[in-house]
Structure 1
């Protein structure tokens, strides 16, 4: 029986379908946490032996999906807190060791993260383990170039710096001596992975920095000098690397030094990026799998999100260095704007807001005008180049604050030119996302100073259709520009009404009627389940002030969408109805409206009916979970509802 269960887990983990893999991960994590603890010693040993055979076969396979399955079994099993499991971690370390080196990035990332996690479970053996692995990858970096070994080495170094910082710090001199090899590699992917390893190492050094180290530590200065050398013309003569490759490596180094020298900006930047991340991209398999495993592991231990993994620490030594060399860094970085390399331009777009934040006055005086000109040139160019340039433009507005005022008309003009017009085709394939990011950041930076300009942008923005990014933008603008909230709310309610109620939102004045007619013609089209779920979620999460239209939305949710054939629609309708009912109950407390009280009572009855009879257990669970909120107690304490609850 146990053998067949192990085989079932393995089959799910090897699947090429993401949903099947994620389900198998959740079930195996649950099995490792609970079932293994309750087994007899004999059964436990047998199951772990079966898993060991599978891990060995899978990690030795030439198929990347099978390798990932083997690694994932290790990931799940090392979370089990049993004495028998602890004796097997050394064997798991051996299985992982045999996966490296390899050329598949997905396999390497997962294996490196698992190696970092495994190191934390090895007890007294962990120092020896980390030292052995670090010295092994140092050898790979110092040998004649082998792409698989170099990529493996820098990924391992990054994960060990994150998971085992104290042990890693013992090898810090060797790290700085060897990481330059990866930063000068001809392959862009290896250079970028090396920069991530450097970022993790700089966190380790910043954490352990003392006042007496000021004149002794050469790491930051050595990194700076390496970057400056790479800007010089002589480097172009090195075998296998173009000048653009050298420049890209230099920019990667400087970007990490800037990160490490301005914690205030990095915290603000992280906060803003989290606000803008309305719809996480799960196309990357490792990111998706990591998010599933985060339920069990802390983000420090296992997550592909850079902002979560790498803690923000500021180095005083690095800050002084950057301050002293600021003009030199600016001049070298700005000089690269003439490059035709896409990777160089991407790095410039990442770095420029950081440069502006380090010394706002100096940047505004000497470099802001040329930067705005450069970005607007970008924004008049190809679609591929526009995306990051819009976000960069918004971040510069945040970094320089009021100094952007004189350039505001040009910024608004380029935003208007990029937004769709009546002649623009409806399908824009997500190209509006960076544009919305820019408007959001502009509102954050300028607050009410940009209110009139933002009002003019609302209608063209709405004509792009409902999207998570538009909702996020409107939410942030409402908070940062209170005077525009009413305009935003009316437009958003109309969009939601057209999708959910199949009719326009009823406005109160002539001007709003014109807006409604314009948006209605743009949005009256068939809506799939995804659009319905998004509309319901927006209705439930946006901070709408109470009005009578919300009553009709409650009725629509409970009468129509709670009975939808689509599971996702029913589930979202439950959540949305609950959030709107809480607003209705709060309104009842203020007005004691008989109509509203009746609506709440009827709606709760319909929710209870769904909670008792829906064929999907997740929907039933969500309904019952809602009623744990004490705000509903008064309405549930009637005989009819109590009978329903007891039956459920």
Structure 2
């Protein structure tokens, strides 16, 4: 908490000390951050970065801040690093910012820290609104650092509104990396902390549900509706990671509209929708078995309907749902086990590589869910198919990217069925040997997966 600052009355007996009951001003708006206006200590002192309010420091005429000149120079360097194109340098800068904030909070008075807070807000505002992607990412990292700082000082609920406004500038965005990072950081504001946090989650979730319900299943690749749809998925996932309890009342409304995103024309949106689906199902599975069963049944109906549509997007959506349900390992899947296997294998030779790769991912999950049933009924059929595909890949460069996925799938299946993989070891090892002996320019694309498969096979047969 802000009372982290050590008492230094011998040096600052004329300054008002911080204590747990005094909070930083949380009412500073984004506009105030630009103007550099402060209201610290009940006066009209301005952040004296110059008349233009660029927030780079305080006026030399302010004697109370003269001893902090070195400190502000340090923060200027840190924010320069946050603009760096190097991800490692930006991360290092965020770490330095955290340590510098903690040190400063221990050493200065309330009024000085409030003034400094306004300068900090100015700098973050500049980064967030920068024209360069690296600046935006640096601004997000700075906000993330502040969230961690305020969690430590137990003042996060009082700072949530301001920090959220910074991040909302970048959500939605046509830059997926920026939007994903901003949404992940926004979710950290949902760490349970009283009624203010609850209000924040309610606002964000209702906005996300609105974006999901008003977006068509298929929108243009650069439409505002598409960006909103994608943003809603990222935000819900982030909220689920940080505050599943507060998200729980809204799960039904989210799942009611999840198919819009699952069948989207863009792969990245379908994939993120599957992640969101898994998070939501995990939340209700731990709280309400009846509701969980109802949603399993509804989702299976949606899967069947999707297969009748027979589009690449709808087929992929169905397989994504299968995968998420198998990961959760709910007992409700027992009666659907055979249906999932046969529906999945129907697309093992599909022309769309994304669908084939999803098949490779689902088969080990089926083996893990019911190892004995999979061994008795489906292991031979599965391995014959895999070995045939590998043979064809060795003879032709077509679909060569499948090889790495098949090797991982074989390794994971072997790990689940144990010694039952023994009858297939010779042809599997022949393929591994051929892969290891191939030219590096080809082998480099699946070398890591080769060794992964070897490790899993060794575990399976001892």
Structure 1 CA distance for aligned equivalents of residues 341 and 180 of structure 2: 34
The counterpart of 1:353, out of the listed 364, 382, 398, is 364
Structure 2 CA distance for aligned equivalents of residues 165 and 427 of structure 1: 45
The alpha carbon displacement at 1:83 in A equals: 6.7
Summarize the Cα distance change of 1:121–1:355 in structure 2 as closer, same or farther, 3 Å threshold: closer
Summarize the Cα distance change of 1:166–1:86 in structure 2 as closer, same or farther, 3 Å threshold: closer
Q: Which residue of 2 aligns with 1:443?
A: 458
Deviations 1:257-295 (A, max 9, x none): 00111xxxxxxxxxxxxxxxxxxxxxxxxxxxxxxxxxx
Q: Does 1:149 align with 2:219?
A: no
- Does the CA contact (< 8 Å) of 2:215 and 2:226 recur in 1? no
Structure 2 CA distance for aligned equivalents of residues 15 and 386 of structure 1: 38
Structure 2 CA distance for aligned equivalents of residues 373 and 429 of structure 1: 26
Matches within 5 A, 1:503-518: none
The alpha carbon displacement at 1:122 in A equals: 4.9
Q: Which residue of 2 aligns with 1:280?
A: none
Which SS does the other structure have where 2:437 is aligned?
coil
The alpha carbon displacement at 1:142 in A equals: 1.3
Matches within 5 A, 1:516-595: none
Structure 1 CA distance for aligned equivalents of residues 129 and 280 of structure 2: 31
Which SS does the other structure have where 2:257 is aligned?
helix
Matches within 5 A, 1:210-609: 210=289, 213=290, 217-232=293-308, 235-236=309-310, 243-261=311-329, 318-320=330-332, 322-380=333-391, 381=393, 382=397, 383-420=400-437, 424=439, 428-429=443-444, 431-447=446-462
Deviations 1:171-203 (A, max 9, x none): 111011121211111111000001111111122
Summarize the Cα distance change of 1:343–1:426 in structure 2 as closer, same or farther, 3 Å threshold: closer
The counterpart of 1:79, out of the listed 148, 151, 163, is 148
Q: Which residue of 2 aligns with 1:24?
A: 93
Structure 2 CA distance for aligned equivalents of residues 389 and 56 of structure 1: 47
Superposition TM-score, scaled by structure 1 size: 0.56
Structure 2 CA distance for aligned equivalents of residues 83 and 199 of structure 1: 31
Q: Does 1:207 align with 2:286?
A: yes
Structure 2 CA distance for aligned equivalents of residues 100 and 402 of structure 1: 50
Q: Which residue of 2 aligns with 1:36?
A: 105
Structure 1 CA distance for aligned equivalents of residues 313 and 455 of structure 2: 34
Superposition TM-score, scaled by structure 2 size: 0.77
Deviations 1:474-519 (A, max 9, x none): xxxxxxxxxxxxxxxxxxxxxxxxxxxxxxxxxxxxxxxxxxxxxx
Q: Which residue of 1 aligns with 2:243?
A: 164
The alpha carbon displacement at 1:348 in A equals: 0.9
Structure 1 CA distance for aligned equivalents of residues 426 and 215 of structure 2: 55
Q: Does 1:57 align with 2:126?
A: yes
Summarize the Cα distance change of 1:431–1:254 in structure 2 as closer, same or farther, 3 Å threshold: closer
Q: Does 1:137 align with 2:216?
A: no
Give the count of matched residue pairs. 377
- Does the CA contact (< 8 Å) of 1:248 and 1:344 recur in 2? yes
- Does the CA contact (< 8 Å) of 2:140 and 2:185 recur in 1? yes
Summarize the Cα distance change of 1:218–1:429 in structure 2 as closer, same or farther, 3 Å threshold: same
The alpha carbon displacement at 1:433 in A equals: 1.1
Summarize the Cα distance change of 1:122–1:412 in structure 2 as closer, same or farther, 3 Å threshold: same
Q: Does 1:127 align with 2:198?
A: yes
Summarize the Cα distance change of 1:13–1:378 in structure 2 as closer, same or farther, 3 Å threshold: farther
Which SS does the other structure have where 2:211 is aligned?
helix
- Does the CA contact (< 8 Å) of 1:6 and 1:47 recur in 2? no
Summarize the Cα distance change of 1:217–1:438 in structure 2 as closer, same or farther, 3 Å threshold: closer
Deviations 1:300-346 (A, max 9, x none): xxxxxxxxxxxxxxxxxx322x1011111111011111211111111
The counterpart of 2:264, out of the listed 174, 179, 185, is 185
Summarize the Cα distance change of 1:32–1:427 in structure 2 as closer, same or farther, 3 Å threshold: farther
The alpha carbon displacement at 1:35 in A equals: 2.7
The alpha carbon displacement at 1:425 in A equals: 5.5
Structure 2 CA distance for aligned equivalents of residues 392 and 427 of structure 1: 20
Which SS does the other structure have where 2:246 is aligned?
helix
Deviations 1:610-633 (A, max 9, x none): xxxxxxxxxxxxxxxxxxxxxxxx
Q: Which residue of 1 aligns with 2:138?
A: 69
Q: Please identify, of 172-181 and 74-83, the stretch whose mean Cα deviation from structure 2 is larger.
A: 74-83
| 5+ residue gaps, structure 1 | 237-242, 262-317, 448-648
Structure 2 CA distance for aligned equivalents of residues 260 and 71 of structure 1: 32
Which SS does the other structure have where 1:219 is aligned?
helix
- Does the CA contact (< 8 Å) of 1:387 and 1:435 recur in 2? yes
Structure 1 CA distance for aligned equivalents of residues 442 and 317 of structure 2: 38
The alpha carbon displacement at 1:155 in A equals: 0.5
- Does the CA contact (< 8 Å) of 2:436 and 2:443 recur in 1? no
- Does the CA contact (< 8 Å) of 1:6 and 1:50 recur in 2? no
The alpha carbon displacement at 1:417 in A equals: 1.7
Which SS does the other structure have where 2:73 is aligned?
helix
| 5+ residue gaps, structure 2 | 1-68, 217-224
Q: Give the root-mean-square deviation of aligned CA atoms.
A: 2.1
Structure 2 CA distance for aligned equivalents of residues 102 and 78 of structure 1: 22
Q: Which residue of 2 aligns with 1:91?
A: 162
The alpha carbon displacement at 1:70 in A equals: 1.2
Deviations 1:96-151 (A, max 9, x none): 12221112121112111111111216532111111110110111111144221111
